[in-house]
Each structure stands twice: as structure tokens, then as C-alpha cells.
Amino acid sequence: MGAFHFLDGDPVYNSAEVFYVRIDPEISSSDELLRAFYYSLWLPGYFGFNWDALYDCLRDLEWIPQRKVVLVHRGLPKIPQGELKIYLEVLRDAALSWEGENAHDIEVFFDASDQSTVEENLFGC
């Protein structure tokens, strides 16, 4: 799963070199998750608070000065199964779409204990 990384613990980066965002594992609705992205990633005012808008903004990121954006999940958001699948697909597709480009790079981290749930949602394993 090239777009995602699974760790026991938090990734370590120089905070001056990356834009580091920790996603609250207690988020319990898609609306709350989209608001969290809006505030933590400084998304533009035109952000539409839906999955397509999140993908579009994750593919832009021109307002973020750091090249690398790191999204850390210490637990999966507690959103409905169907919404979780869409969320994971958005993250995967956005992260993969930056590969080979110089403007930005998105790294998405999950707790190692969530790997099977992530894979199940993306691949039906």
C-alpha cells in the first residue's frame, strides 16, 4: 500500500520541514472530519465540505509552504463504514497523485493495529 504507512507510534519529522496534521481518532461524523481537515490544513474558504472538495484541495495545497504534508491517524475516525471507505479512497488517491511531482508530497500514517481494517475497506480483503 504505497500511499499509506503503518506504525506503532508517531512518525518523527523536523516540524520546520513538514506540515504535520494529527487527525483526532475521536471524530465521529463525516461532517466533523471534513471540518477538522478544513481547520488543520488551512483549506481555502471555497472548500465545499464534501469528499470531492477534500480530494480537490488535497490535490492543490498551494497555500501550504512546506513540500511534505504528513497526515497522522492514531486511530481511525469513528465514521460509518461506507464513509470510512470513501475517506480512505480519497486519501489514497490524493497521496498517489502527487508521486513524481515536486510541488507537494502527502504521507498518510495509520496505527499498525488499523492496517487490516484499512486494507479491508480498500481491497475487500
pLDDT at 2: 74
The gap from C-alpha 44 to its chain's centroid, in whole angstroms, comes to 17
Residue numbers of the domain that contains 110 = 4-123
Tens of pLDDT, residues 26-62: 999 999 999 999 999 999 999 999 999 999 999 999 9
Three-state SS for the chain is: CCCEEEECCCCCCCCCCEEEEEECCCCCCHHHHHHHHHHHCCCCCCCCCCHHHHHHHHCCCCCCCCCEEEEEECCCCCCCHHHHHHHHHHHHHHHHHCCCCCCCEEEEEEEHHHHHHHHHHHHCC
pLDDT at 15: 84
The x, y and z cell numbers of residue 18, run together, are 513538514
Tens of pLDDT, residues 58-105: 999 999 999 999 999 999 999 999 999 999 999 999 999 998 888 999
Q: How many domains does the chain have?
A: 1
pLDDT at 10 over 70: yes
pLDDT at 54: 98
**Domain harbouring 48, CATH code:** 3.30.370.10
pLDDT at 90: 98
pLDDT at 125: 57
